[in-house]
């Protein structure tokens, strides 16, 4: 069974440019999470979806970040415009009914 798939693996952009990350969760997992991880720290939740509904987006910086999960499967996380402080690893995870979470390989974003 395929795991959580994320793309791209790496992205380098100039500040003020837009960027998007894509996530395909494990088949059948209705809960999808986006996390951000800074170097030397644990992951920080940005948003959690139950099917297509965003049920927890309290830590998503809504002025520049947006996310969608059309049809309750794949999800996209967007940053527009990117700032230097957005450099981090963006992780997608999925779980069946918000139980055990499984993570993708992450997208390492560098903003220059």
Partner 1 sequence: GIQVEQSPPDLILQEGANSTLRCNFSDSVNNLQWFHQNPWGQLINLFYIPSGTKQNGRLSATTVATERYSLLYISSSQTTDSGVYFCAVKLMDSNYQLIWGAGTKLIIKP
Binding site for partner 1 (CB under 8 A): 37, 41-43, 45, 48, 56, 89, 91, 93, 98-103, 105-106, 108
What is the closest distance, in whole angstroms, from the C-beta atom of residue 64 to partner 1 in the complex?
22
* Nearer Cβ to partner 1 (81/102): 102
* Nearer Cβ to partner 1 (56/83): 56
Q: Which residues of 14-52 are buried (b: 16+ CB within 10 A; e: fewer)?
A: eeeeebebebbbbeebbbbbbbbbeeeeebebbbbbeee
The span from the CA of 8 to the CA of 48, in Å, is 20
Q: Are strands 10-13 and 107-111 parallel, antiparallel or unpaired?
A: parallel
What is the closest distance, in whole angstroms, from the C-beta atom of residue 16 to partner 1 in the complex?
26
* Nearer Cβ to partner 1 (23/91): 91
* Nearer Cβ to partner 1 (29/48): 48
């Amino acid at each position: 069974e395929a795991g959580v798939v994320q793309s791209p693996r790496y992205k380098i952009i100039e500040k003020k440019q837009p960027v998007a990350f894509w996530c395909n969760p494990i088949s059948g997992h209705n809960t999808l999470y986006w996390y951000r991880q800074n170097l030397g720290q644990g992951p920080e939740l940005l948003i959690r979806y139950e099917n297509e509904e965003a049920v927890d987006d309290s830590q998503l910086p809504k002025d520049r970040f947006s996310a969608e999960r059309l049809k309750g499967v794949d999800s996209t996380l967007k940053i527009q415009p990117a700032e230097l402080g957005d450099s981090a690893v963006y992780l997608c995870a999925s779980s069946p009914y918000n139980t055990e979470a499984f993570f993708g390989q992450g997208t390492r974003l560098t903003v220059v």
